[in-house]
Amino acid sequence: MTITRFMESGATNAPTLQATIKITHFATPLENPDPLFDSSGMSRDNIRRHVRQERNSLSAEEQHQFALIASRHLLAEVQAHNAQHVAIYLTHDGELATQKLIEALWEEGIKTYLPIIHPFSKGNLLFLHYHANSKMVINQYGIAEPALSVQAIIPVNKLDMIVTPLVAFDDKGNRMGMGGGYYDRTLCQVVDGKPLAVGFAHDCQQVSQLPIEYWDVPLPVIITPTRRFACQ
């Protein structure tokens, strides 16, 4: 399978107290887009509940089309950074599907890695090489992951890119996951932007703002089917 890059057009800059977010539209923005969900004053659990309902309400055809479009953009991001070792995830709970993207990365000769729950260090992840013949097991959350093999482990600092799942995000690059803190602990290991952390999400997962905790690590890049958010 070959995924080609979409043309980028139209960019806006939104200043924040901490950084500038450049939002690049992959196509001409709609004149009357759906209003952004107002999450102000909501708890983290209520935001998660709302966004997961929105995400899971997408039809199978919408899921397929959005995933294909977003995968084209993400492949372009990988190519732009010449990333050769990419950590990614397998789809769960209505997340953007990644299998076709993974196959496209394999065709490009790019090695892919999947997270597994660390067997000895509670709350942490390990990343294992994932290929067509990987032996898979089901973890405690019902998600497929590679069977533990010491030879397949890659240290985080040897990765070029980590594609992170998420439940919700805002236009400041803030990310909300399922609440386990696994990716927050992983992203704390990023040094000088290496590896590059890229959020991958449906447009409906964007909210007006997220309540931030001290352990939250914002994402430098977020890719959706229609836009690229970049923290500068």
Count of other CB atoms within 10 angstroms of residue 29: 14
User: What residue has token string 């397949």?
Assistant: 152
**What's the pLDDT at 49?**
96
In a domain, 26, yes or no: no
In a domain, 138, yes or no: yes
**What's the pLDDT at 215?**
81
> What domain range includes position 142?
37-231
- Residue whose C-alpha is closest to residue 175's, from 208, 229, 143, 212: 212
Calculate the CA 141 to chain-centre distance: 18
Exposed, middle or buried by CB within 10 Å (0-12, 13-18, 19+), for 71?
buried
CB distance 207 to 57 below 8 Å: no
**What's the pLDDT at 232?**
65
Average pLDDT over residues 2-30: 51
In a domain, 217, yes or no: yes
Whole-angstrom Cα distance, residue 209 to residue 189? Answer: 25
In a domain, 136, yes or no: yes
For 147, which DSSP code? P
User: What residue has token string 């990644």?
Assistant: 98
In a domain, 71, yes or no: yes
- Helices (DSSP H) in 108-193: which residue ranges? 182-187
- Helices (DSSP H) in 81-181: which residue ranges? 99-107
Say how many domains are in the chain.
1
Q: What is the pLDDT of residues 146-168, one digit of tens each?
A: 999 999 999 999 999 999 999 99
- Residue whose C-alpha is closest to residue 24's, from 229, 232, 189: 229
What is the model's pTM? Answer: 0.86
In a domain, 168, yes or no: yes
CATH code, 214: 3.40.50.10420
In a domain, 127, yes or no: yes
Mean pLDDT over the full length of the chain: 88
In a domain, 181, yes or no: yes
Would you place residue 141 in the very low, low, confident or very high pLDDT band (cuts 50, 70, 90)? confident
